[in-house]
Structure 1
């Protein structure tokens, strides 16, 4: 499991984890002293600092590293749209709490018009691997850095798909434009994503 740590002069090691736990250990013994459920991946090292003699520890939550490309290997499912992206600050004697997590399971989109096309899916897989996987996940299994395309309605319609992928309508939201893709590349890419969706549905929505 991926871990992110910071050691302090007070014999503490703070550890953030992809499964959403934020822990403090005794540096000399490794004993777990404290645990907090951050409700989202902790994928950056915590920082420790003092203000007017009082020590604070601050950490950012939310998936945003290259680890998001490997959703199938992670211990938890992480949804781009509902994960809790926060800056959390802790101090001895702090009493703050987080609201209950509202994360909902991500489910595959219903695609009754899908028809297999193995050659097109193979071509689309190559395009996906070169241009899409680092954000949307290897094998189209996303882990929080970008939406899970298997759960999106965008690939179901060729015109909408072209508007997003080639025309760049979502550039303000962080989705890049691939204006170099011709119609054949777009069709193959869309076919591959729909194939991934069909495989997901065939396995009951399990990642």
Structure 2
């Protein structure tokens, strides 16, 4: 019997959830595809079919992390730009809270950082880095802000998106690679909200 799209999607979701659980528990480097398959209740071949390899799983988790920002960008047409920036700040603060409250995420984020470095050194289809992809989403958000409320000179949607995405990257890297002394929440959240508040007239 051929599997339906819904069944395939559910299998994919189960594999990805198993990968995330194991990456958080053991660290990306110490997890095997066999362990992921066993926890998901599938064969290793199924993992290969859905995600190709362990890096494909990490890419899928990275893409899932962008989803709240994509949803916000898609919702902007009827909304006010200033309200959009408040919602953006709320989303970032929620993510920072989750990271601070689950220190296991440091290991997963370190894996994503290494992946981004590897992708930035290659010129392959679909090889854009997390920062490049999130920057393009932020450009859409700031275009709505410019449309609805305007932005103070010299800021443009492109400049604001680059600055905010670089700031978030810096904060996350400092937290993930740091030895302590820096709390991404609430300190990082306060910093981001302060920056966002300066980007509307």
Q: Report TM bin, short chain.
A: under 0.3
Tell me the TM-score normalised to structure 2 length.
0.27
Greater RCO, CA 8 A, separation 6+:
2
More strand by share: 1
Select the structure of larger CA radius of gyration: 1
Tell me the TM-score normalised to structure 1 length.
0.26
